[in-house]
Amino acid sequence: MDINHVIEALRSTTVAEGQGQALDYLKKISPMIGFPQLLLRLLHDEQLDGVVRQAAVICFKNIVCQHWEVVDDEQKGWTLNEQDKVPVKQQIIPAIIHAAQPIRIHLCTAIQNIMRNDFPERWTGFRDEILPLLRSSEAETLLGALFILHRLCKIYKREKANAPFVELMGSALSLLQQRLETLINNQDQSACVLQKQILKIFYCLNQFTMNLQILPIDQCTKWFHLFLAIITREVPSECDALPEDERAKTVWWKCKKWALKIIQRVFERYGNEGNVDEPYNEFAAHYSTKLVLPVFNSLMTLDRSTQSRGVLDRFMNGRFVSEEATYFTLYYLSDAVSQDLVWRVLEPNFMLLVKNIILPLLQYSKKEEKMWSEDVEEFLRFKYAVYKDLHQPSSAASTFLQMLCKRLRTFEWVFAFIMDRLVEIKKLSATPNWRQTDGVLHMVAIICPLLFKLNERDKAAKILGVPVDKLLEIHVIPRTTHEDRFVRLRACYVLHCASEAPFENSILERAIRDLFRNVLNLIKMTRVEDLLAVVDTLVEKFDEDVIPIAHDVQTFDAMVIGQNRDSVGVMGVLTTLDTNLGLFAKHPNIVKRVEPVIRSCISTIFDTYCESYFEKALSLTHSLVMVHVSPEMWTVFDQIYKGFSDEGTAFFSDCVPVLYAFLTNDTDNFLAVSERARHFMAMCEKTLNDDGENSCDERTKAHAVKMLEVFLLQCQGRANHFIPDILRLVFNHLQKESTNENKLGDLKTQLLIAIVAALYCDFQMCSNLFGQMQLEAEIGTFEWVVRALYANRKSFGGVHARKMVIWLLCRILADGNLPVLFEKQPEKFMEWLLTLFGIL
């Protein structure tokens, strides 16, 4: 292992040319003892350029993460030798402490994997190595130790902590608390980086469980006072001098963010008395008596002794507050407001929060306005992204408002404020404040669920003065045509939120035709599945109004087809027709009423031989026939047969669903006219016997045989006179292809099942017919069928096919005469039958 070759290989991994050979070389030498130690030396060698050192640390990280522990994965293939593991564990902590940030990140990932596998059993000295580093007065050493400790907490944040971990973290937290106390008044950037890392360790340790052995209740109280000091302290003037979009990224606001995140998480999971798991009841009681008010005051009010301000106080006075800080503050208050003690303090001033915090946060922002102006699609993706609400202040404000309004008296005050604002906005139309209009409408959307509950209890009219639907008609619906796009969007959003309200239909009836047409157009353009539910609701609520619209649309479509049969637009029209029928599938009465117009379109396609639209015509026919087969639809059946005769067997695959629907949904009328069955048989026979140069494929032929089987089973006892023709057709095809067993595949399986279906319909007739046939000189036809079924027994994959074979085998048992194949080994017959039962 030449060190120079290793260095050149590492350098080559960063460029396209020669990268493959370099990676192969490194992969080859990776299992060699001493290679991980060499990489550690190289990544610290300042004589080497940064590219080589970065490649070395990535290679080291990959080896440690993939090969530290024995695994069953054959691709990884080998495990690091103990001769490498011991020195790596000795060297990696100092390496992290002295490494630059880009290299330290990878080393931390490596040590996390080592700790996951070796701590505490195989790394017993880890505690004695890390604790002295936490006492160090060197900032670089302390920061490296904090990074390592954070990675250890990540391992145990969801796992049950073992005794060595509890002992280590108990000692570590005491040291960290002392260190944070000494750093709290130091706002140098380097000191705040240490503070931020300590906060991240505390959060990670307590994110999912709080171990009261590690963190006793009295010690937790001291920690919280430190968090509150960080939250309320002023940021340095150099931070306020930065542009607003850069301030949140500074270490000072990140410290505030992590302190608030801890307070919110701890209260949510462990401090909210009456809403925590049993092990945390004692802590929750302590929190309610000792911490809940100090935290509330620190978030809300002016601390007179230090002249430092709470987060919301800063916000109300127009000073900068980061989005994350606002989010976690309001999220905390959303949980805390359910506590009576908090509510008693908040109640006198809660409307100040509604006016000066909640309403501004619910308005559209300058960022959203700019985004919409520059790129509408990007704005919509941002606005309706799954994770849009993550750490968004508007989301927290919405939740806080909902929690406030759960108290009836509070709801009345909030609603009165909303109504006053709406009236005021209307009066000031000459000098409009569209942002405020958007915010007030947003508040209406948020309280809609509460309005419905009050409406159910007949309290809404007393509080609101008018029914919910009248309220929306007066204040919301007119704003759906507002000149400001954000107000229009918000008004539509309010209507969406109010969709469960008990509206009087008269509100929509005036515009139902235009609404329905526009929804259909939206479905055609966007393919948004949620709109299908809208159409379904419209059809259910306004069926008498929708029918004329559907008729108008179909008539227009028919005119288009008649005027320009080759138009690309006709295909779109037919697609819309098909979509509409799919939407009406749950409403048979509507389908029956629009059928004449759609049937006219279908007939036009076949009569004028517009073969480009045959597939769509068949789809429309299927949609109609699946709901109802009217006498007039049998004319379409005849047109389909004519189309098949003209188009040939390639047309058969498209016809199969329609033929099946006619046969199974109206069997009586199918058999009432003998020509229909003959046409059906002719289509299947022609397809199965198609052996020309451009013949149809085996799958299409299998479809034809399947249709013959369905015909026999569906018309059992009423179409038995077709059995001889069907058997003759099936056996001829089996004999014709007997020389090429592999070619048949699924087709042979289907042919055999069709024979079983014929036996099922009339066993005696089939037995007599078998006596007149001779497939092979040595054995009878029935014996040949059984042998073919047995030879292909593994090919019957479907449940129906297995049931058909089971029926035949049981019939053979009932007759008491085993086929010759099983006379000497009857156990094989029973094994076959039991296997079929077992895999049903």
d(CA 784, CA 778): 10
- Identify the pLDDT of residue 304: 47
> Nearest-5° angle of CA 64, CA 70, CA 76?
65
Cβ–Cβ < 8 Å for 39, 57 = yes
Cβ–Cβ < 8 Å for 291, 221 = yes
For the record, the structure tokens of 413 come out as 């005050």
d(CA 43, CA 40): 5
- Identify the pLDDT of residue 738: 57
Is 363 exposed, middle or buried (CB count within 10 Å of its CB: 0-12, 13-18, 19+)? buried
Give the DSSP letter string of 154-216.
HHHSSSPPPHHHHHHHHHHHHHHHHHHHHHTT---HHHHHHHHHHHHHHHHHHSS---TTTS-
**Residue 727, CA distances (Å) to 730, 733, 770, 781, 784 in order:** 5, 10, 9, 12, 14
- Identify the pLDDT of residue 565: 47
d(CA 77, CA 68): 11
- Identify the pLDDT of residue 691: 80
- Identify the pLDDT of residue 152: 96
Neighbouring C-beta atoms of residue 254, cutoff 10 Å: 20
149 Cβ partners below 8 Å, 6+ apart?
130, 134, 172, 201
Cβ–Cβ < 8 Å for 447, 411 = yes
pTM: 0.70
Bridge-partner residues for 302, per DSSP? 309
Domain ranges of the chain: 230-361
- Rg of the chain, C-alpha, whole Å: 39
Successive 10-residue mean pLDDT values, the chain, 840 residues? 92 91 94 95 92 96 91 68 95 96 96 95 95 96 98 83 92 97 95 98 95 94 97 94 94 98 97 94 96 93 58 92 96 94 92 95 92 85 65 93 92 92 81 89 91 65 66 87 92 85 67 79 69 73 66 49 50 66 76 84 84 86 92 94 89 92 94 94 92 80 94 92 93 72 70 94 92 76 90 87 93 87 87 87
Is 126 exposed, middle or buried (CB count within 10 Å of its CB: 0-12, 13-18, 19+)? buried
For the record, the structure tokens of 758 come out as 């014929």
